[in-house]
Structure 1
Amino acid sequence: MPGVFAHMPSRPIQVLFAPDYRKGVPYQALLAEALARRGATVRFLQGYKRVLPLSRLLEDQECDILHLHWPEAYYARRGDGLDLFRTVRFPFDLHRAAQKAILVTTAHNFHAHDRGAEMLIGRNVRYANRKSRVVFAHSIGAKQKLVQAFDLDPLLVRVIPHGDLSVAMRPPVSQAEARHQLGLADGKLALMFGAVKPYKGLEDVIAWWKKAQPAVKLAIVGKPVSDEYATHLSRAIGDTPHILTRFEFLSDDALVLWLSAADAAISNYREILTSGAASLARSYGVPLILPRRLDTIELDEPTPYVRRFTDFLTDFRTELDAALSLPPDFAVAATWRDACNWDRIAELTMDGYRCAMGDGRCAA
């Protein structure tokens, strides 16, 4: 395909985002708005086709760039697990789509979260990355993992920060006001927030809290992936006095209140390429504790506001205490927010598009 698209159109670049997940997180909307300020025309793939959804939908939606964000949307049903027929057909569907537009991918995940049918999903993730003219990764660590796992040319993988999600939300309120509105008592509070799913390693944190019984309240807040999983976690917690749960959908306003109320945040993903939740805690200046193994998440380190632990038996307690000794500070996170502002990210993304429309092997 090099040479076929090796030119820039005289009109604005037309970009089609797929899938449209704007209702879930603000990432795509913020990126699209910033790209529009750079002169790109950004639309979202719309419609539903049961068979070959990507390529068939593209027949009626012209674009220069097909920017694929979460490929699992085209071989899995959200919330219901795998769609076997789509999973098998996905490579052919994507191949046909790549004949109609230049394909670029943002590797938000290494694999689909909470996955099944490992061999088929692994094949599809590999194919999506290898079929793309440019792959965007959110960190150097993520790039290295993608290159190694999928045997990608390093020049095809471009590192772009995740982006500051806090701009879509209001600033924090005082801790006292947040706790009053949430009905929380005084005392130290550690927060795990967002969609409540197995890949987030909640059970390990719960087990440590039950055994160590720190004088710190652990709050697990967010909507569980299923009633069964909520029941599973509730049984694991039992009558532990220092763990509270709010298993419900978090509006942006509610999330700001929880971030304002917290003294620290905890992330314990099993495996992940990036984390909007971790980035959001960082943007709000909430001290964050996460495992050293998550070297794909970059948060402008070293900084005392990001604490890394090796495991729960050796140094988790030390890093938790260190995080709790710092006051949450929205102002101190201004440098981080500026480093991942959307205008900078849009410009880096446009550079990637220009590269894809050339020979696809630009210096990353």
Structure 2
Amino acid sequence: MKHIIFNPSNNPENQYISLLVNGIRRHRFYVHDLNSIFASWDHFKKIELVHLNWFENIDDSSSKKGLISYFRKMLVLRIIRLSGKKLVWTMHNRESHEKKTGKMANKITKLLVKWSDAIVIHSKMSRDLLLENHAISPDKIHHIPHPNFIGVYGSPLPKTSPISPSLKLLFVGAVKPYKNIELLIKTVGEIQGNVELLIAGKARDKAYAEHLIELAKPYPWITLRLQFIPDGLLPELIGKSDALVLPYDLGSSLNSGTVILAFSYKKTVICPNIGTLCDMEEVEEQFFGYSYQSPEEHEAVLKESILKAAALKNAQPEAIYAMGLRMQEYIDHTHGQHEAANKLVNLYQGLLQN
């Protein structure tokens, strides 16, 4: 049995981790968390490979915490490098979402790119960015589709005929500034009469939650549930919506598990053309993708996309549901849960044989 680090090895708020770790363990890999790597000398020697996710992100809640996090991660990386253990890194984002610690995150990212024996990507755009910005061999890059979440959170709600003529939009996930929540509230707030919005998820902190509540107060058609959403409630929340709206920042966002989640539960999305959607050109008519060059343009094209979806529902009440259904069928074939874990295992085995 091979001993490896997969970090994080457990995340109750992100089933992506569980899908991959459980799949890896089925192939007789003993998976440990990074925090255990220095538990003992014998344990350290057993570890043959380290796979890091979001390792470049640096805590920006305070300057002190940021510096401690940065130096600790730099030390860990150097020890992994000097020990000769195989290093794998998954590139999830274009750049770190934490603006205050962005420079430190970029330094860690450069080392991860340079020192990794393999870089896992979930979209073709990631490959282009890596080759454009770093002097690395294309052979180091391995494309593994993000696993879908079909059935992971329970069964989807049974289909019902549309009751309300209004377009019911849902934003779900961690509520953080880079996800442009303020822009979403402002945009939907200006659309009256045929659009309803629910924002559901834990806010970054109390101050940010209070800020959003104040912004949404004038708009009774916008509802905020700024708390952690248990897995068991996700099918109900998603099922009661027509579509998910995810106005991510194109400057940092690259892949989205929430987009995959929406498709897994038979819902289409309104979302910028991040890497996840750009890989789906053959079915681009089944979601509302858009691009923008500035915050002002983002507001305009987001509003245009929402109004387009609302008009479609008004003209053809079943059309948006049909889009989501076709997207579930698509990712069932292209983003298999077992396939993702199997490809990781094949990658690990290849590295450990060298």
TM-score, length of structure 2 as denominator length: 0.84
Cross-structure match for 1:320: 309
Between 1:304-313 and 1:101-110, the stretch displaced more is 304-313
Residue 47 (structure 2) aligned to one of 47, 54, 63: 63
2:281 partner SS: coil
Per the alignment, do residues 268 and 208 of structure 1 end up closer, same or farther by CA in structure 2, a change over 3 Å counting? Answer: same
> Partner letter of residue 261 of structure 2?
L
Q: Is 2:270 the partner of 1:275?
A: no
Please show how residues 75-86 of structure 1 align to structure 2 within 5 Å.
Answer: 76=59, 82-86=65-69
Q: How does 1:78-157 map to 2 (within 5 A)?
A: 82-100=65-83, 101-157=85-141
**Counterpart for residue 21 of structure 2:** 32
Aligned counterpart, 1:352 = 347
CA drift of 1:220 comes to: 0.6
- Classify 1:301/1:167 alpha carbon distance in 2 versus 1 (closer, same or farther; 3 Å): farther
Moved more, 222-231 or 106-115: 106-115
Q: Within 1, Cα distance between the matches of 2:312 and 2:7?
A: 38
Among 24, 29, 33, the alignment partner of 1:41 is: 29
Q: Tell me the CA shift for residue 194 of structure 1.
A: 0.7
CA contact 1:221–1:245 (8 Å) conserved in 2: yes
Distance 1:113 1:44, change over 3 A: farther
Rounded Cα–Cα distance in structure 2 between residues aligned with 1:40 and 1:150 = 34
Distance 1:175 1:22 in 2: 31
Q: Distance in 2 between matches of 1:261 and 1:125?
A: 39
Residue 338 of structure 2 aligns with an amino acid whose one-letter code is D
Q: Which amino acid aligns with 1:253?
A: G
- Report Cα offsets for 1:192-242 as digits up to 9, x if no partner: 111111110111121212223351101111111111111111222221122
State the Cα RMSD in Å. Answer: 2.8
Moved more, 204-213 or 167-176: 167-176
**TM-score, scaled to structure 1:** 0.81
Q: In the superposition, relative to structure 1, how do residues 239 and 318 fare at CA in structure 2: closer, same or farther (>3 Å)?
A: closer
Q: Distance in 1 between matches of 2:325 and 2:219?
A: 35
The alpha-carbon deviation at position 109 of structure 1 amounts to 2.5
Q: 1:300 to 1:42 in 2, by over 3 A?
A: farther
Give the structure with the larger helix fraction: 2
Change (3 A) 1:176 1:228: farther
Q: Is the 8 A contact 1:282 1:299 kept in 2?
A: no
Q: Which residue of 2 aligns with 1:290?
A: 271
Distance change (3 Å), C-alpha of 1:57 and 1:242: same
Is the CA contact 2:194–2:310 (under 8 Å) kept in the aligned structure 1? no
1:340 maps to which residue?
Answer: 335
Q: Kindly tell me: are residues 322 and 355 of structure 1, through their superposed partners in 2, closer, same or farther at Cα, counting changes over 3 Å?
A: farther
Distance verdict in 2 for CA 1:76–1:208, change over 3 Å: closer
Corresponding position of 1:189: 168
Deviations 1:54-85 (A, max 9, x none): 6x358424222111112147x538x7684303
Mean CA deviation greater in 109-118 or 247-256: 109-118
8 A contact 1:221–1:247 mirrored in 2: yes
Amino acid at match of 2:247: N
Q: Distance in 1 between matches of 2:279 and 2:193?
A: 27
Q: Aligned pair 1:226/2:205, yes or no?
A: yes
Bigger shift: residues 340-349 or 133-142: 340-349
The structure 2 residue matched to 1:301, chosen from 275, 278, 281, is: 281
Q: 1:42 to 1:340 in 2, by over 3 A?
A: farther
- 1:250 to partner: Cα distance: 0.4
Q: Which residue of 2 aligns with 1:240?
A: 219
Pairs within 5 Å for 1:8-23 = 12-23=1-12
Residues in 2 aligned to 1:189 and 1:285: alpha-carbon distance in whole angstroms: 14
Q: 1:259–1:284: 8 Å Cα contact kept in structure 2?
A: yes
Unmatched segments (≥5 aa) in structure 2:
292-297
**Matched residue type, 1:121:** A
Amino acid at match of 2:31: R
Which residue identity does 2:230 align to in structure 1?
A: S
